[in-house]
Chain A
Amino acid sequence: MNFHDVRDLLWLSTACYGASFILGMIKTRYRFPNGLLESPFVIILIGFCLQTRALYIRGIEIHGCPLGNGLERTQFILWSLILAFLLLRLIWKLNLLGTFCAGVSLFLGSLSLSLPAWDTPYWTADGYTRLFQDPWIELHASIAIFSYGLFCLLAVVGMMYLSQRQALLSRRTGFLGPYLPPIQELDVAGFRLLAVGVSFLTLSMVVGTMHWTRHPEFVSQEKLTITTALWIGYLLLLVMRLTNRLYGSRFAKWTIALFIIALFSLSLVNSKTKPQAFQQIHSSPLAQVKL
């Protein structure tokens, strides 16, 4: 185990999330000694510290915010998810929320680390220029990814809502039902998370738009379309929830569906690198006329 190696650290943090998930599930069924009651939370905290260190080292390597490939983006979202959970836990203790977050981090973290194609060392390529040379666009990207973390947490809350609802509709005690938070609280939590997530995404869009208006050549049409569509999707969800046109189980299902779409669309929202953009400028008919 090399504590200076990004992948080793990320594997270790994923293992911590896995351990926390397993302990959390066991804790729901069997009583723990008083001294070990908080062990799932402590292990999440250790995992979070390891993940932070890994992303920090990668950031040093690429001289910027590590969002250049699939692994980095997934890990950054998971980091945001755990950060959002830790912040939320300060004001509001939802039973099993940490366990569900750890479960999602275990699944997506293992997946991203198991696919070598997701971790291409783009920063070692010839002619690599820093991913984010403009601090504003770096801010835009980090806020956007943090909002994705919040939407991930929203999807987790949606899963908990559907689990509790299913347990209640089955009219049996069930394994998890008694330990999950009440569905009304989950509904309120989902609404608040959506509102905060949309606010962050909107802020990120505003910052991104400022960059786009100055340098439209750096933003691909694909990225523009997908990001705007996703923002409109979440905004629409918020409006429909506010006006009580979408609520309960359908709202929970939409939060999960939108997050899955957001996750898959991430690979398509890469900004063009500077050389690509310059190449595009110089090969355009307008540029040829000028030349």
Chain B
Amino acid sequence: MSRQKKIVSGLASSRGIALGYVHLLNRGKVIIPKRKVDSKEVEFEISRFNSALSGAREQIHMLRKKVSEEQGDEHVYLIEAQMLMLDDKSLTDDTRELIRGERINAEWAVQKAIERFKKLFDRIDDEYFRDRRSDIEYVEERLLRLLAGTQEQSYVSIHRKTILVAHELSPADIIKINREHLVGIATDLGGRTSHFSILARSLDLPCVIGTKVVSQEVQNGDRIILDGSSGTIILHPDQNTWNEYEERRKQYLATRKELLKNKNYKAETKDHYQVHLFANVDLLEEVTVALENGAEGIGVLRTENLFLGGELKTSEEEQVECYKKVVTQMKPHEVVIRLFDFPGDSLYGTPIAGRIEHNPALGLRGIRLLLREVDILKSQLRAILQASAFGKVAILYPMISCVSEVRRLNQVIKEVMSDLQTQGINFDPDVRIGAMIEIPSAALTANRIAQEVDFLSIGTNDLIQYTLGVDRTNELVADLYNPLHGSVIHLLHKVVEFGHKAGIEVGVCGEIANEPMFIPLLVGLEYNFLSVGARAIPSVKQIIREITMTEAKQWVAEISGQDDPSEMRKCLSTYYASRFTGVFP
């Protein structure tokens, strides 16, 4: 059935062009609990696994019927392959064996058994075969969903380029989906600084958000085009439009490749003011991306999303292993590990402290939570310190509102260090400590905080939201969320001044460092480092290399003198567009 071409517009949230087939996401969350079971529970876990297996078979059977009715038999083999995997003794026996032998629950065993196969696949030096690991992941996901008792996702278009369409998304939705065939994201709701937008940018997935309607306008399997640079979505494109955009997609990629040539240059203005460029990292796979794009380190390793299932109580061993991986990979560069900052609008739906908070953004999050849950804090610190034996590590405190919190945390670190010492466990006693400045109270007293730490890192998303009293994800007021407001500029100015007076470095790790028009401003304010989405590094660097400090200072003076931030924003973006064409493709 061919329908009329239609254009839907929204906010451009992650650059690039994607052409693909719609996969409508029915939002459901799978949490993968990992736990040890005692001997009495073993048989129960095995029976859970067995019934998940038969449930999965039944689902695949239905799916097979559906797919062959809707799409003919061409893709049926993929479904049959899944069926054969479920019947594969080497998988099912392994899983049961793991439950028995390691005394772990069914979910964990499924994951482990499948991980073994993935590892086998990774060893194959042929890219095509290595990619087959994704085929097993569908089986894994299906089993885990059944074990969790949640509804299955119908992967109708798993075998081809997929654009995920949803009413709204959580980062977990993206983390959990198989990303190999995912080429773009479109949503009805959300803002540029919603967590999934940030994630889309770091994964280099073109993304258009806030369209209000897109999820109602499409069906599974529809062809759509997504332009993440202009914020447009084309539904039911004709073949000419399709070809034209395919051409534009290639052009876009070519420009980006060109920019990457600055990889080995410093981020230095024409008059030799150097800014250090780090990458923000949410997922392990971004570490490679960071290195490829010339990151001089990791400015923020957000630990909340690193662990599958996102459990706050991830074991110390699991954490050590994970941090160690990142630290070793980034060597000799520094990795700044931010302590768990489970936000109020928690990723995982369940309120952390067992209570619903009416205003979670102002609630129990970041170090406020950690200082209450000292065991979690200590085990994370122990893990980070152990990783510090393998490379350069720094620790970053999120959601600081008062210098006394910093002192308490420093004290806890001391205690943990002396415990490790007693136990003869290696760590780097000189790890640097940094505080996030994201609450106005911290910004205004940054002079005192600066006395207790080695660097300050400004989280602009929250700082702006708290300073202006604007919920950044609420479209009704999103236009009031403006980094150019005099109050924000004032705070940005103050913090850098306080930091430098104390002789420490100050940087920005919020989203504004990703936005081209703000970069000259941050340079003019004399920030020492910017930590941005890995893919933005070449563009940010290019802008820095094309300006002078004198020019940047002029921007600051001009912006500081303005009363109307939205007018200013318009001016800046026009100026930016003419000054730096081609830098942000």
Question: Do the two chains bind?
Answer: no
- Which chain A residues have a beta carbon within 8 Å of chain B's beta carbons? none
- Which chain B residues have a beta carbon within 8 Å of chain A's beta carbons? none
